Amino acid sequence: LQDLQLLTDVITSHGVPSRTQPVPGSQQVQLYFSNPDLVWAADYPRPRFGQGAFSSMLQAVHRRLTGTTLPNAKWFGKPHPEPYRIAEQLLAQQAVRLGLADAAALAAPGQLFSSIFAVGDNPAADVRGANQAGPPWVSVLVRSGVFQGAGNDAQDPAHVVVADVAAAVEAGLHRARSSRWHSMR
């Protein structure tokens, strides 16, 4: 609870926790969350709370104290679009460095690839993010982490569901054999 208390103090005081009230006209604190995952897989047999659980608690406490939503909060990480756009850009830069594409491809990096496989174990983060990113992203759900169910996830269904990461690589290689990217090699 110490982290929750400290952040609440910082947010409600506009960055100076020792103040009882923010100075009029002072700037509100910009708050960044690196990952919205509610749960994640760890060595423990059941999923553990992630930063998404903490941000949900902070939002609920802030709403109860102030009657308002959490100001100036920004979430990064899956399922938000930023990680997918950054990955597309980095993959396009690598293709240019390898001589597989010309520099013009950097203007629209997602169009360079027929498929980019997003492999993950969390339907609400990994699969939802890849599906929302759209083509060329292909969501691959593995059953070796947060998701342990049979079949596909009902709320956030993946394009491909496999047992583990090794099977995801095999599925990606199988699908890529007929793709534009594979034929460029």
Q: What is the pTM of this model?
A: 0.72
The structure tokens listed for 140 are 């691959």
Q: Break the chain down into helix, strand, coil percent, rounded to 5.
A: 45, 15, 45
Give the pLDDT of residue 110. Answer: 81
Three-class SS state of 53: helix
Residue 179's pLDDT is 58
Dihedral sign (CA 44, 47, 49, 50): positive
Query: What are 48's strand-pairing partners?
Result: 40
DSSP state of 103: G
**Residue 88: its pLDDT value, please?**
94
Which helix (H) or strand (E) segment is 139 a member of? strand 137-142
Q: How far apart are CA 162 and CA 151, in angstroms?
A: 9
Query: Could you state, in chain order, the average pLDDT of each consecutive group of 10 residues for the chain (185 residues)?
Result: 89 83 76 84 84 92 88 84 92 94 89 91 93 95 90 95 94 75 42
**Cα–Cα distance between 126 and 120 in angstroms, integer?**
5
Residue linked to tokens 């608690």: 57
pLDDT at 105: 86
**E strand or H helix at 52:** helix 51-66
